[in-house]
Chains A and B, each alone.
Chain A
């Protein structure tokens, strides 16, 4: 069965950096586009970033453009999100999600990133 497991979250100071990972299993990872989506505490969902199946196409929400970098390693069935210049408003649970026909058909359980001094 499809499984997506995020890791790498934690407490980081404003201006700091963090790298999130998403381990995929149960499907041919290299065939699928992937995205990161976040949810601030008590708030709704916000799409963050997208990467094409081969990794050449990447897109970002305006709120994170220039600070976050999405990447993938198809040999390791893994998706990554490098978070830099972090702000308090980046505090959220970050989910990785598989894309299927322009919607997200499978999601992970999320990893919490807290930005605080």
Chain B
């Protein structure tokens, strides 16, 4: 099954941009990746799905236009533009590794985003 690698932390000044990366392990370059936001003390919420061609489907409910994605090779990135205090959260990427006879969903270790 794929391993999803995320840096443990990222930061940006209020109003600046930050890009979060999620790197798939070798051999999984055709996989879609899902991004989730988890604010402190809250349950996660779906942000967006990204493939090699970029965004797939619609963003989650009430997800700002400031969130965008890119997909290339083994990398699936999430960019937050004009970052706001409300964006300070943990961000997890995840991927479905199911087949007809099995189901596995794997998460990355998460990136903590701090707004300076």
How many B residues have CB within 8 A of the partner chain?
A: 24
Docked Cα-Cα span, A101 to B57, in Å, equals 10
| A to B contact number (C-beta, < 8 Å) | 55
Residues in B neighbouring A45, C-beta threshold 8 A = 36, 44, 92, 94, 107, 110
Q: Is B46's CB under 8 angstroms from A59's CB?
A: no
Q: Across the interface, do A105 and B60 meet the contact criterion of CB distance under 8 Å?
A: yes
Contacts A47-B104, A59-B103; A106 near B46 (Cβ below 8 A): yes
A73 in the interface (beta carbon within 8 A): no
Q: Which residues of A contact B (CB under 8 A)?
A: 35, 44-47, 50, 57, 59, 61, 95, 101-110
Q: Can you name 16 A-B residue pairings with CB atoms under 8 Å?
A: A44-B107, A44-B108, A45-B36, A45-B94, A45-B107, A45-B110, A47-B106, A47-B107, A50-B103, A50-B105, A101-B49, A102-B96, A103-B96, A104-B34, A104-B36, A107-B45
